[in-house]
């Protein structure tokens, strides 16, 4: 009976810790512009109102509408331009017997606000903000 009391809890701990699934990857959003717009709004409550351009912010997966007024005073999105940012996280893999699942890759999204309309770029790795031109 003593054997059962000692090894059964250890066996349970082994199975629950070694068979765990990987966590979903994080999503990071960075807003960029050639010339800063006079206003920018996005309906993501996790994105700070007083954000800095060219800085990544962690956001949850979802659909986020946005709008901005460019440096020329033109309201965007206009007809035919992107108006919703759709972001999904990469799922982690499931664990198996004596094998933990792997975490999903992080996603890095650039929302570039141009006078010709917004551009969205998605990468699976961190990128350094480079020079953009219209």
Question: Tell me, what's the pLDDT at 34?
Answer: 86
What does DSSP assign to residue 87?
Answer: E
Residue 79 lies in a domain: yes
Q: What is the pLDDT of residues 50-94, one digit of tens each?
A: 999 999 999 999 999 999 999 999 999 999 999 999 999 888 778
Please give the tally of structural domains in the chain: 1
User: What confidence category does residue 8 fall into, taking pLDDT thresholds of 50, 70 and 90?
Assistant: low
Q: Where in the sequence is the domain holding 44, given as residue range(s)?
A: 25-90+102-123
Residue 11 lies in a domain: no
Residue 58 lies in a domain: yes
pTM for the structure as a whole: 0.76
Q: What is the DSSP string of 24-71?
A: PPPEEEEEEESS--SEEEE--TTS-TT--TT--EEE-SEEEEEEEE-T
Distance CA 108, CA 105 (A): 10
Residue 44 lies in a domain: yes
Residue 12 lies in a domain: no
Q: Do residues 42 and 63 make contact, with C-beta atoms less than 8 angstroms apart?
A: no
Nearest of 9, 3, 37 to residue 134 by alpha carbon: 37
Residue 113 lies in a domain: yes
User: CA angle 63-75-121, nearest 5°?
Assistant: 45
Residue 69 lies in a domain: yes
Residue 82 lies in a domain: yes
């Amino acid at each position: 009976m003593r054997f059962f009391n000692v090894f059964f809890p250890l066996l349970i701990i082994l199975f629950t810790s070694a068979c765990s699934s990987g966590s979903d990857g994080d999503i990071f959003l960075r807003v960029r512009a050639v010339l800063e717009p006079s206003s920018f709004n996005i309906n993501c409550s996790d994105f700070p109102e007083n954000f800095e351009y060219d800085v990544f912010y962690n956001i949850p997966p979802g659909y986020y509408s946005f709008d901005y007024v460019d440096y020329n005073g033109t309201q965007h999105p206009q007809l035919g331009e992107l108006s919703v940012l759709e972001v999904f996280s990469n799922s982690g893999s499931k664990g198996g017997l004596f094998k933990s699942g792997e975490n999903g890759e992080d996603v890095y999204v650039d929302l570039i606000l141009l006078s010709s309309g917004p551009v969205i770029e998605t990468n699976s790795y961190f990128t350094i903000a480079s020079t953009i031109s219209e």
